[in-house]
Chain A
């Protein structure tokens, strides 16, 4: 299997989430991963792009959400970059502890971590945030 890389640069709008998900679904379909893995990647991607559009770029359409997809013999890797101020992922509350279960938000990062094998963030002050997510074959 060869290494395939695709890059997308999309405006910071809510409809970008569906656009990105469609592109990633096509990419993942070519990568040969199974249905469960494809579901997890789709959900994690949607949550990452949602965070980039809403919290990173704050729906400023002058700022893009940049997505890089890489498929290798070992894994599929997805990076989502925004141009926001960044955040500390360790300070995001656990949505599964009792006092947070009935909160109406705060589950996106939890889903990303639940469905991908690796999730990490690269945050550069003034330089935006990149979340990198890996799904091993």
Chain B
């Protein structure tokens, strides 16, 4: 079984990636990077990462979230986060990244925030 599973769906012009597993150095981080690059190549620049099923993330995974955020920003797109676990929220808080990312607990609210 893959370390990180990513399921893609479309909600209007927003691409939602439902993720489950671990975003850690190696396979998990690479899977996220590959998915984001592919979406950008397809011109999909409004991306919502649903992290409800992400049980674990390390500094490499956090770095990959930052890399995704900046790569999408450079293409004038938007990356937002949905359904952080408490542990991930704690990690984003202590790294001060919670002030950078747009984070939502409701998918409807998250989708409405894209403009």
Binding site for B on A (CB under 8 A): 14-15, 17-18, 39, 43, 46-47, 50, 95-96, 101-108, 110-111, 114
Q: Which residues of B contact A39 (CB under 8 A)?
A: 87
Known A103-B66, A104-B64; contact A114-B94, beta-carbon cutoff 8 A: yes
Indicate if B115 sits at the interface (CB-CB under 8 A): no
Chain B residues 1 to 49 lying within 8 A of chain A, measured CB to CB, are 24-26
Which residue of chain B has its CB nearest to the CB of A110? B95
Main secondary structure of the interface of A (DSSP, over half): helix
17 contacts between A and B (CB under 8 A): A14-B25, A17-B25, A46-B24, A50-B60, A96-B95, A96-B96, A101-B97, A102-B70, A102-B100, A104-B66, A105-B63, A107-B59, A107-B62, A107-B63, A107-B95, A110-B95, A111-B91
Indicate if B89 sits at the interface (CB-CB under 8 A): no
Binding site for A on B (CB under 8 A): 24-26, 58-60, 62-64, 66-67, 69-70, 87, 91, 94-97, 99-100
Q: Which residues of B contact A15 (CB under 8 A)?
A: 26
Of A18, A47, A95, which one neighbours B95 at CB under 8 angstroms?
A: A95
Known A95-B95, A96-B96, A114-B94; contact A104-B26, beta-carbon cutoff 8 A: no
